[in-house]
């Protein structure tokens, strides 16, 4: 063990820890329990050590190594761990910001007030709960395996025709108006139906999709595009990175408060002067006959409120324009100052 630890640049205690966690199972001599590491064991340990240094948890490493023989599956596992790591980073960043603001308030008041700390802590708690509470209630992995690139259209059956869906995507691409080599982002990319239109303009795209199976379709369909696993509430992306953001038929999978958190994330990664287009089921644009509600939608869907989204954006200096595309679909365009 000591020789292997020295060769790998770690301590014997580290190797024992990995063994206790089931990541490695070296040969043990019956007479003295002396551990012997094969070349295969050493290669596995190199993987473990590297992935730990890259921030992956022990359980995530275990899941990834279980499919090391299948490169696509292995990359998907690591990609999922990356998304989780980014989510933790975003939470930590927001906690640090809230702490800084609390300390500044204390300094201005000349004393540390418990109520200010409690208020900031409660806000962080609610924010964290909202981000963590989102789940894929529609099993898009199964949808992707069953219907391939048609999956998003299938989910909208009875609400939107395929022609209306395709026209909405065309209108989204038209309003975004991507330019050659411009850095763009698509959120909730699904199986890539909008992605294909945006990629055809020559823009340099990044795609975000939470479903691992949808992500596999994206990478097969658009191998030249950077596709990452993640969701709208914690984008695994650096701030101020993209000139435009497109998002179609994804926001209705979030609650109203989560939709505002998604806007916060979009604002974080969009450059000043950038633009975004949200297309989908938007009340106040698509159904005035039922007091702003779409009563015939699946119960778990939450149409966006055009006024609430626009109000949030305009409160941060955005210019907004809304458009009604068909009886059930609206579009919101916003330009960042």
Q: Are residues 46 and 95 in the same domain?
A: no
The pLDDT confidence band at residue 219, using thresholds 50, 70 and 90, is very high
Q: Are residues 296 and 188 in the same domain?
A: yes
Q: Are residues 220 and 274 in the same domain?
A: yes
| pLDDT tens digits along 169-179 | 999 999 999 99
Pick the range with the lowest mean pLDDT from 83-87, 200-204, 238-242. 83-87
Domain count for the chain: 3
Query: According to the model, what pLDDT value does residue 288 have?
Result: 45
Q: Mean pLDDT over residues 243-263, rounded?
A: 95
Residue 312 neighbours by CB under 8 Å, 6+ apart? 260, 263
Q: Are residues 120 and 180 in the same domain?
A: no
Q: Which domain holds residue 96?
A: 71-132
Strand partners, 35: 28
pTM of the model: 0.81
Sign of CA dihedral 248, 289, 320, 127: negative
Rounded (10°) angle between helices 71-109 and 114-132 = 160
More confident residue, 291 or 105: 105
DSSP state at residue 234: B
Q: Are residues 162 and 292 in the same domain?
A: yes
Q: Are residues 15 and 164 in the same domain?
A: no
Residue pair 26/41 in contact by the 8 Å Cβ criterion: yes
Query: According to the model, what pLDDT value does residue 187 have?
Result: 98
Task: Say whether 67 sits in a helix, a strand or coil.
Answer: coil
| 292: pLDDT strictly greater than 50 | no
Q: Mean pLDDT over residues 166-187, rounded?
A: 97
Query: According to the model, what pLDDT value does residue 289 have?
Result: 45
What CA–CA distance (Å, rounded) separates 230 from 160?
26
More confident residue, 162 or 94: 162
The pLDDT confidence band at residue 158, using thresholds 50, 70 and 90, is confident
Query: According to the model, what pLDDT value does residue 214 have?
Result: 94
């Amino acid at each position: 063990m000591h020789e292997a630890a020295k060769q790998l640049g770690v301590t014997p205690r580290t190797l024992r820890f990995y063994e206790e966690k089931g990541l490695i199972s070296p040969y043990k001599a019956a007479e003295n329990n002396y551990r012997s590491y094969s070349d295969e064991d050493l290669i596995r340990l190199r993987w473990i050590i590297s992935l730990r240094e890259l921030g992956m948890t022990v359980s995530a490493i275990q899941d990834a190594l279980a499919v090391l023989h299948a490169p696509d599956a292995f990359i998907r596992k690591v990609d999922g761990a990356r998304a989780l790591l980014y989510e933790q980073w975003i939470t930590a960043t927001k906690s640090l910001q809230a702490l800084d603001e609390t300390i500044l308030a204390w300094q201005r008041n000349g004393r540390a007030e418990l109520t200010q700390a409690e208020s900031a802590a409660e806000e962080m708690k609610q924010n964290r709960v909202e981000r963590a509470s989102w789940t894929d209630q529609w099993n898009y992995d199964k949808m992707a395996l069953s219907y391939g690139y048609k999956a998003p259209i299938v989910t909208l059956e009875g609400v939107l025709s395929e022609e209306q869906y395709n026209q909405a995507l065309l209108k989204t691409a038209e309003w975004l108006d991507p330019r050659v080599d411009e850095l763009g982002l698509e959120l909730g990319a699904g199986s890539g139906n909008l992605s294909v239109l945006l990629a055809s303009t020559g823009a340099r795209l990044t795609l975000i999709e939470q479903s691992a199976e949808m992500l596999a379709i994206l990478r097969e369909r658009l191998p030249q595009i950077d596709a990452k696993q993640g969701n709208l509430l914690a984008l695994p992306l650096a701030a101020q990175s993209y000139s435009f953001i497109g998002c179609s038929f994804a926001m209705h999978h979030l609650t109203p408060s989560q939709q505002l958190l998604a806007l916060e994330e979009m604002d974080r990664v969009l450059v000043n002067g950038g633009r975004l287009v949200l297309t989908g089921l938007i009340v106040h644009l698509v159904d005035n006959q039922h007091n702003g509600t779409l009563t015939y939608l699946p119960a778990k869907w939450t149409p966006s409120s055009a006024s609430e989204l626009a109000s949030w954006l305009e409160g941060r200096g955005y210019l907004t324009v809304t458009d009604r595309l068909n009886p059930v679909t609206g579009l919101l365009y916003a330009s960042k100052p």
